[in-house]
Amino acid sequence: MTVNNLMNDMRLRLTQVARKTRLLARRRPVSMAIVIAAAGMCGAATMNSAEMARLNHVAAQHERSLEDTRREAQREINALAARMGELQAQANRLNALGDRLARGAGLDGGEFDFDRPVGIGGPGSAFDMPAPRLLHGLDALDGDLASSGQQLSVLEALLFDRTLEQNARPSRSPVASTFVTSSYGYRADPFGGGGQFHKGIDFDARTGDPVMAVADGVVSYSGVRGGYGNVVEVDHGNGFVTRYAHNSRNVAKVGDLVRVGDEIAKAGSTGRSTGAHVHFEVWENGRVQNPRKFLGDMGVRRQ
């Protein structure tokens, strides 16, 4: 059989099927409609089920993507919160350190008020800042705070050294509410033996009055020393030594650490003395000095 014969045979058969279908449709139109509708519904159901499955898969992918984005955003927020906590701690430390330095340096509180917010501003409009730029800014701020902290620490150390040096320098009277009865330098000997060089200043006192250290230091001598009677000597460092003589009783012992204003002895009249008083001397690098230049205006007056 040739190809043309096959094609003609197929056309014939298709024509016959079409004729039978038309006849069946004329005889049973309702049944045919039901068959066609059923076929359409089955096709639609098959198509809707596949489409729903695809949409569900896409929605699940979007949900997973959103969840990943949320987790990433939360990680960034947690990192920012941690950095912010670190920077806040550094800022609090710098504020406390700056306030302490301002007080230690005697600066006006209005000039360096660390509790007052700093005024800032600008004419430009705001914009959304990307997270990487914000993190970079926090890193830069962290570096600035660390550098400022180091500088303030150095200033604190220098100020502390200066404070120690000032506290170790004689700067007050050894007796409260007193006056000078005999000054430093040449004078007539109180026992009628001619003249003498007086190496210190005599302060009026009553027996038993507290004798106080005029600066921070360490007691280097406590005992009897010839005409001085009972003597306490305090080494203040930087070459300064002070001597307190004619005490009725020494309170401080060798090696005691004393602060300015601490009681080290009781006033009296031991040794070569005409009455109760405190003999006070200042030595600098082994040379006796006029105590007056260290006392300044401390309310001490000459009788």
What pLDDT shows up at residue 104?
66
Band (pLDDT 50/70/90 cuts) for residue 6 is: very low
Of 50, 73, 103, the one marking the end of a domain is: 103
Rg (C-alpha) for the chain, rounded Å, is: 51
List phi, psi (to 5°) of 144: -65, -45
With respect to residue 10, please indicate whether it lies within any of the assigned structural domains: no
8 A C-beta contact, residue 150 and residue 219: no
Closest CA to 272 of 219, 200, 172: 200
What pLDDT shows up at residue 231?
97
With respect to residue 84, please indicate whether it lies within any of the assigned structural domains: yes
CA distance 256 to 149: 36
Tracing tokens 């430009």 back to the chain, one arrives at 124
**In the chain, how many domains are there?**
2
What pLDDT shows up at residue 74?
77
3-state secondary structure of 108: coil
What is the arithmetic mean of pLDDT over 257-281?
94
Q: Which residues pair with 247 in a beta bridge?
A: 230
Cα angle at 208 between 205 and 213, to 5 degrees?
70
- Both tokens assigned to 147: 């550098």
8 A C-beta contact, residue 204 and residue 181: yes
Choose the weakest-confidence range: 104-118, 140-154, 257-271: 104-118
The verdict on 99 and 183 lying in the same domain is: no
Of 63, 83, 103, the one marking the end of a domain is: 103
What pLDDT shows up at residue 7?
46
What pLDDT shows up at residue 70?
80
8 A C-beta contact, residue 153 and residue 97: yes
Band (pLDDT 50/70/90 cuts) for residue 4 is: very low
Closest CA to 197 of 212, 207, 206, 187: 187
CB within 8 A of 189, min separation 6: which ones? 195, 196
Indicate whether 119 pLDDT > 60: yes
Please indicate whether residue 161 or residue 60 has the higher confidence score (pLDDT): 60
3-state secondary structure of 58: helix
> At 242, which amino acid appears?
T
Please indicate whether residue 40 or residue 103 has the higher confidence score (pLDDT): 103
Choose the weakest-confidence range: 42-51, 176-185, 196-205, 211-220: 42-51
Q: Which domain holds residue 68?
A: 33-103
Q: What stretches of the chain show up as alpha helix (H) in DSSP?
A: 3-27, 29-104, 131-167, 292-295
The verdict on 80 and 184 lying in the same domain is: no
CA distance 42 to 258: 105
Choose the weakest-confidence range: 97-101, 178-182, 207-211, 233-237: 97-101
Cα angle at 117 between 111 and 118, to 5 degrees?
70
Band (pLDDT 50/70/90 cuts) for residue 302 is: very low
With respect to residue 69, please indicate whether it lies within any of the assigned structural domains: yes
With respect to residue 271, please indicate whether it lies within any of the assigned structural domains: yes
What pLDDT shows up at residue 80?
72
Band (pLDDT 50/70/90 cuts) for residue 257 is: very high
Q: What pLDDT, in 10s, does the model give residues 141-172?
A: 777 777 777 767 776 676 666 666 666 677 78
List phi, psi (to 5°) of 123: -80, -20
What pLDDT shows up at residue 3?
43
Indicate whether 44 pLDDT > 70: no
> At 96, which amino acid appears?
A
**Residue 208 belongs to a domain with what CATH number?**
2.70.70.10
Q: What pLDDT, in 10s, does the model give residues 16-34?
A: 545 655 555 455 554 445 4
Q: In angstroms, how far is CA 144 from the centroid of its own chain?
A: 13
With respect to residue 142, please indicate whether it lies within any of the assigned structural domains: no
Choose the weakest-confidence range: 159-173, 233-247, 281-295: 159-173
With respect to residue 116, please indicate whether it lies within any of the assigned structural domains: no
With respect to residue 151, please indicate whether it lies within any of the assigned structural domains: no
Of 103, 124, 150, the one marking the end of a domain is: 103
Choose the weakest-confidence range: 9-13, 118-122, 131-135: 9-13
CA distance 9 to 164: 123
With respect to residue 13, please indicate whether it lies within any of the assigned structural domains: no
8 A C-beta contact, residue 276 and residue 237: no
Q: What pLDDT, in 10s, does the model give residues 64-91?
A: 888 888 888 777 777 776 776 777 777 7
CB within 8 A of 140, min separation 6: which ones? none
Backbone angle region of 172, left / alpha / beta, with phi > 0 → left and psi within -120 to 50 → alpha: beta
- 192-204 burial, b at 16+ Cβ within 10 Å, e below that, comes to eeeeeebbbbbbb
